[in-house]
Amino acid sequence: MKNLKTSNQHADQEDRAKVIRDSLRDAIVDRRLSPGAKLSEAEVGALYDVSRTVARSALQMLTFEGLVTSERNKGAFVSNPSPEEARQIFTSRRLIETGIIQTAAERMTAEDFVAFRQQLEKESLLKANRGAQARREEIKASGDFHLMLADVAGNKILKKFMDELVARSSLVIALYGRTGTSSCGNDDHSDILDALEAGDILRATELTLHHIDHIEADLDLRSTDSLSLKEALLR
Average pLDDT value for residue range 94-106:
95
CATH of the domain at 155: 1.20.120.530
Sign of CA dihedral 59, 94, 138, 201: negative
Average pLDDT value for residue range 130-146:
76
Domain boundary among 58, 80, 102: 80
111 pLDDT band (50/70/90 cuts)? very high
What residue numbers bound the domain in which 98 lies?
A: 83-217
Average pLDDT value for residue range 86-101:
95
CATH of the domain at 37: 1.10.10.10
pLDDT, tens only, 40-78: 999 999 999 999 999 999 999 999 888 999 988 889 999
pLDDT at 4: 47
Assess whether 105 and 120 both reside in one domain: yes
Report pTM.
0.74
Q: Is residue 1's pLDDT more than 90?
A: no
Contact in structure between 12 and 118 (CB atoms under 8 Å): no
Assess whether 75 and 87 both reside in one domain: no
Q: What DSSP letter does each residue of 146-167 carry, written as one string? A: HHHHHHHHT-HHHHHHHHHHHH
Is there a domain that residue 16 lies in?
A: yes
Domain count, the chain: 2
Assess whether 74 and 190 both reside in one domain: no
Is there a domain that residue 148 lies in?
A: yes
Neighbours of 153 (CB within 10 A): 22
165 Cβ contact list (under 8 Å, min separation 6): 89, 92, 93, 96
Assess whether 106 and 88 both reside in one domain: yes
Is there a domain that residue 147 lies in?
A: yes
Is there a domain that residue 235 lies in?
A: no
pLDDT at 147: 95
Assess whether 65 and 89 both reside in one domain: no
pLDDT at 34: 83
State how far the Cα of 97 lies from the Cα of 117, in Å rounded to an integer.
19
220 pLDDT band (50/70/90 cuts)? confident
Assess whether 108 and 212 both reside in one domain: yes
Q: Is residue 171's pLDDT more than 90?
A: no
Assess whether 206 and 151 both reside in one domain: yes
Assess whether 114 and 24 both reside in one domain: no
Average pLDDT value for residue range 111-115:
97
pLDDT, tens only, 195-205: 999 999 999 99
Which of 25, 28, 34 lies closest to 61, judged by CA? 25
State how far the Cα of 164 lies from the Cα of 228, in Å rounded to an integer.
24
Contact in structure between 101 and 204 (CB atoms under 8 Å): yes
